Amino acid sequence: MWHKKRVKEIQKKLKEVELAGKTDEVRKLNKDLGELKKQEDHFKKKEEELAKKDRLTPWNVDTLCQPGFEKTIINKGKPNTDESEDEKTKKMMSFMDKHEKEIKKFGMIKDYNASRDYLRDNPHLVREDTASYLTLWCVNLEMQEKQALVEVVSHQTIVMQYILELGKQLNRDPRSCIPGFFERIKTAERQYVEAFEDEIRAFKSRVKARAKEKVEAAIKEADEEERKSRLGPGGLDPVEIIETLPAALKECFETKNVARLQGVLAAMPKEDAIYHMQRCIDAGLWVPDAKAAGLTPASEELKKMNIAVESDSDSEYEAVDEEGEREERGEGDVTEMPLD
């Protein structure tokens, strides 16, 4: 506090001497101000180091044996390098399948004493796989918007993570830490209980973010699958194509008015008519005939509508073989437009 007050005093004095043109005093005050800022940076660095040390101070043997409760930050343990990722995944899935009901029962417990007794009776659940299952369950519950269940399961997830982390920090089997954890969490000072609750809030925030990502990804995937399913014979999306058509032409397809469509196309410049007609064929909005299945050049369709076009005006689409050209062509039709 004194440090900040002194900086303000020097800054105020500096403005005064600058206005008075006292260059010697300006240099001296600037030097003093620089020294104070260096000290301020040094103090801030020390404060950050102390804060970090405080955050990372783990429970130790003394806190398990004597009154007291040191908060801990939950971090992921070091991976077991003796197993491949595939092996670890298989073991985890096997454990989850075998003990799913037991894990879910623990995840629904709302009382510390009941949680302690349940883990004491089922010590095989005290492992990383249980924490992983509970985490995935929380994400799925969040995606289903089951907020009340998210609250309960998130709490139990952090309980499990604390016990596991405690075992790592003490280099002990985490199952032996069950009694000590629950004893301390029930008798702790408020500030340490708040630290535990902060962990739960941070976890729920991460769960919410992950659930949002998964929902967005699922929606995107569903939209892409829907888009692929409605692509026309030429690989174009009818929904996208119809939105880019001239208003009059778009109305013809939406109302399925073939006579009106012929009139609108006849009134267009021939190049534009061929361009839009071919896109409608490629998107499946217009089906020339059953055999051609959308592969007929646009100019052929325009000719059938008695719309005059140059013979080479759509040469880029002249891919129909001679046999197909000799076949009798039926009248086209406007197809159903998926507007949803």
What's the CATH number where 166 sits?
Answer: 1.20.58.610
Lowest mean pLDDT among 101-115, 122-136, 221-235, 299-313: 299-313
Within this chain, do residues 12 and 92 fall inside the same structural domain, yes or no? no
Within this chain, do residues 97 and 214 fall inside the same structural domain, yes or no? yes
Q: At what angle do helices 128-143 and 147-170 cross, to 10 degrees?
A: 160
Domain finish residue from 56, 77, 94: 56
- The pair phi, psi for residue 334, each rounded to 5°, is -85, 125
What share of the chain in percent tops pLDDT 90?
29
Within this chain, do residues 119 and 194 fall inside the same structural domain, yes or no? yes
Within this chain, do residues 199 and 105 fall inside the same structural domain, yes or no? yes
Within this chain, do residues 256 and 195 fall inside the same structural domain, yes or no? no
Asked if pLDDT for residue 253 goes beyond 80, the answer is yes
Between CA 194 and CA 63 the distance in angstroms is 17
If one counts the domains in the chain, the total is 3
- Of 50-64, 237-251, 286-300, the range with the highest mean pLDDT is 237-251
Residue 334 contacts residue 256 (beta carbons within 8 Å) = yes
Within this chain, do residues 269 and 205 fall inside the same structural domain, yes or no? no
CB atoms within 10 A of CB 33: 16
Question: Does residue 77 fall inside a structural domain?
Answer: no
Within this chain, do residues 8 and 36 fall inside the same structural domain, yes or no? yes
Q: Which amino acid is present at 16? A: E
When pLDDT is cut at 50, 70 and 90, the band that residue 184 belongs to is confident
DSSP H or E segment with residue 309: none
Lowest mean pLDDT among 174-178, 289-293, 321-325: 321-325
Question: Does residue 68 fall inside a structural domain?
Answer: no
Question: Does residue 231 fall inside a structural domain?
Answer: no
Nearest Cα to 99, choosing from 122, 74, 76? 122
Which residues lie across from 287 on neighbouring strands? 333
Between CA 114 and CA 155 the distance in angstroms is 14
Within this chain, do residues 316 and 285 fall inside the same structural domain, yes or no? yes
Contacts of 62 (CB under 8 A, 6+ apart): 68
Number of H helices, E strands in the chain: 15, 2
Residue 50 contacts residue 58 (beta carbons within 8 Å) = no
Over range 193-204, report the average pLDDT.
91
Within this chain, do residues 162 and 210 fall inside the same structural domain, yes or no? yes
pLDDT of residue 173: 92
pLDDT of residue 138: 95
Question: Does residue 122 fall inside a structural domain?
Answer: yes
CB atoms within 10 A of CB 5: 9
Within this chain, do residues 112 and 189 fall inside the same structural domain, yes or no? yes
Q: Both tokens of residue 63?
A: 């806190």
pLDDT of residue 80: 54
When pLDDT is cut at 50, 70 and 90, the band that residue 323 belongs to is very low
Q: Which amino acid is present at 84? A: S
What share of the chain in percent tops pLDDT 70?
69
Asked if pLDDT for residue 219 goes beyond 50, the answer is yes
Question: Does residue 203 fall inside a structural domain?
Answer: yes
Question: Does residue 135 fall inside a structural domain?
Answer: yes
- Of 1-10, 17-26, 54-63, the range with the highest mean pLDDT is 17-26
pLDDT of residue 22: 72
Based on its alpha-carbon atoms, the radius of gyration of the chain, rounded to whole angstroms, reads 36
Give residue 32's domain range.
2-56
Q: Strand, helix or coil at 193?
A: helix
Within this chain, do residues 191 and 120 fall inside the same structural domain, yes or no? yes
Lowest mean pLDDT among 48-57, 82-91, 178-187, 273-282: 48-57
Asked if pLDDT for residue 4 goes beyond 80, the answer is no
Question: Does residue 282 fall inside a structural domain?
Answer: yes
Question: Does residue 340 fall inside a structural domain?
Answer: no
Q: 236: phi > 0 → left, psi -120 to 50 → alpha, else beta; which?
A: beta
Between CA 102 and CA 86 the distance in angstroms is 25
Residue 95 contacts residue 131 (beta carbons within 8 Å) = no
Q: Strand, helix or coil at 154?
A: helix
Torsion (CA) 181, 187, 192, 198 in degrees, nearest 10 = 70
pLDDT of residue 1: 47
When pLDDT is cut at 50, 70 and 90, the band that residue 74 belongs to is very low
pLDDT tens digits, 105-154: 999 999 999 999 999 999 999 999 999 999 999 999 999 999 999 999 99
| Chain-centroid distance, C-alpha 72 | 28
Q: Both tokens of residue 69?
A: 């409760």
Q: Both tokens of residue 165?
A: 């982390």
Question: Maximum CA pair distance of the chain?
Answer: 103
